[in-house]
Structures are given as structure tokens and as C-alpha cells.
Amino acid sequence: MLDVRSQVGFADFFVIMSGGSARQLDAIQDEVVSKLKQDKVAPLHYEGNTDSGWLLLDYGDVIGHIFAPEQRAYYRLDQLWADAETVLHIQ
């Protein structure tokens, strides 16, 4: 999770996640949406699909990026936002 408040005005945090297969990408998205829905939090916008290898969940201040490995390596958001403070890193 990256704190991007000092870099952008449209979000506070980026949560960058990866899944090794289309099934894992769907499972990650389903779990995030399900858990936040329990707290009555719904995404403002979402886009992408497993075929594209990049799913985006926009919760306003928090934007979730769920990548297949190839797309994560290609877009390199971790490097693009390298000046952002890493709040949490789990491997």
C-alpha cells in the first residue's frame, strides 16, 4: 500500500496486488468487494477484467490495482510511484 497523498490529488492510497491466474485475480477482487460491502462501502468505479490482466477498484481515497504478473511488470506502478511512502508491503 502506497501513500500517494503528496503526489496526487485524486486519491490518498494505492493498494497494488497481484494474482498468478485469472481465477486468483477474480478471487482477490471478489474478496475485497465482499469484505468492504460488509462495512457498507461500495466502489465508486471499477474497470478491467481478468482478460486484460488489470482490475481497478476505485473507492475514492483508496484505489486498488489487481494485476496479473505480466501486467504488473509492464506497468511498474511500484516504480512509477517510487516517491510515495510504502505504508504496508506483504509478499
pLDDT at residue 91 greater than cutoff 90: no
The verdict on residue 5 lying in a domain is no
pTM of the model: 0.91
Closest-CA residue to 21 (of 74, 64, 78, 71): 71
Integer Cα distance of 32 and 79 in angstroms: 24
pLDDT digits (tens, 9 = 90+) for 16-37: 999 999 999 999 999 999 999 9
Q: What is the CATH number of the domain that holds 32?
A: 3.30.460.10
pLDDT digits (tens, 9 = 90+) for 32-82: 999 999 999 999 999 999 999 999 999 999 999 999 999 999 999 989 999
CA end-to-end span of the chain, whole Å?
A: 12
The verdict on residue 27 lying in a domain is yes
The verdict on residue 87 lying in a domain is no
Range of the domain at 76: 13-82
Pair 36, 83: CB distance under 8 Å: no
